[in-house]
Amino acid sequence: MRVSDFRSDTVTRPSREMLEAMVSAELGDDVLEGDPTVARLEARVADLLGKDGAWFVPSGTMANSVAIGSWTRHGDEILLERSAHMVQWEAGAAGALHGVQSTTIVAEDGCMPLEELRRSIRLRSLHCPKTALICVEQTFMGSGAGPGGRVVPLEHLRAIKRLAAEHSIPVHMDGARLMNAVVASGVPAHEYAACADSVSLCLSKGLGCPVGSLIAGPREFLERARLMRKRLGGWMRQSGLLAAAGLYALQNNVQRLAEDHDLAKELASVLDPLPGLECSPDKVESNIVMARVTHPKHTPETLMAELKRRNVLVLPQNATTLRFVTHLDVSTEDVARVVVALDEILG
């Protein structure tokens, strides 16, 4: 029986057309003379984001780690939102790999309050770590306490960049789902990217690629990032096979993200009336739906288990919230299956 998989937009499988593009890709050794398909992808993303260049890496987590390692030194401090992916879901890489500490700011909608951010910037002192980097996330996944897949407004990102510039602090944007924000808001990618000095972009989420992310930025940053990518083991060989999928996705899979957003709203609209669930369709901005569980007999963990028995896969976001993510491999039929399953479980 077909499985309806709402765990993440990372579960997508390459389409036949994407696989054909991968099989026919022109290849080289990217560590030696270079891979021409990788070079085309890097140039395409640099142009898309309005940056001097970009490097292809295996994952979004590595892209973010390359950025931290390139902008900071051991003993520095970075500022970011408390439930950001770089805090919650990257295995403590900032401290473990780069020796930096993280100061976190609470903002359930992803918009870190400017005055709190200003107060968190350290005065230069022998006794204090240097505030070396401010990190933002677009779209903002959230912790489940607020809406998921939040599109952080352009003006707020611009204000953070101005504040950072006042203190000569670079900004890194975790843009794993940046193209979701672009499609949802109509703001071009380069305008969002102008709010940050470096930007990561993931290809293996809503864009449907099997593997891959990019890290883009200015020329001096790219020199440091190239070395950091090498140290982290992220410089691949005939990676044009994977880069070809990225080129295909950027050409064919961006505008269709609107379908994922519409499906997420549809899903939220049918979840919200169910007994024991709270899920406002008005708060769904992209492809992530957070459903708060208030049922007296169920928790997110028990609902996940019951749904799995009925071939519907989801993930708990925290102790009170289930997360559903729409993507190119789910449809209205899968939403209908969720409703039937939850009617049976909650009724």
Which domains, ranges and CATH numbers included, belong to the chain?
A: 11-252 (3.40.640.10), 255-346 (3.90.1150.10)
Q: Is pLDDT above 80 for 302?
A: yes
Using pLDDT thresholds of 50, 70 and 90, give the confidence band for residue 144.
confident
Average pLDDT score over residue span 135-155 = 90
Q: Is pLDDT above 90 for 148?
A: no
pLDDT of residue 269: 96
Distance CA 223, CA 198 (A): 13
Using pLDDT thresholds of 50, 70 and 90, give the confidence band for residue 143.
confident
pLDDT of residue 146: 73
Distance CA 117, CA 272 (A): 34
pLDDT of residue 247: 98
Mean pLDDT of the chain: 96
Using pLDDT thresholds of 50, 70 and 90, give the confidence band for residue 74.
very high
Tens digits of residue pLDDT in 76-124: 999 999 999 999 999 999 999 999 999 999 998 899 999 999 999 999 9
Using pLDDT thresholds of 50, 70 and 90, give the confidence band for residue 347.
confident
pLDDT of residue 293: 95
Q: Is pLDDT above 80 for 145?
A: no
Tens digits of residue pLDDT in 181-231: 999 999 999 999 999 999 999 999 999 999 999 999 999 999 999 999 999
Q: Is pLDDT above 90 for 147?
A: no
pTM metric for this prediction: 0.96
Using pLDDT thresholds of 50, 70 and 90, give the confidence band for residue 161.
very high
Q: Is pLDDT above 90 for 1?
A: no
Average pLDDT score over residue span 223-242 = 97
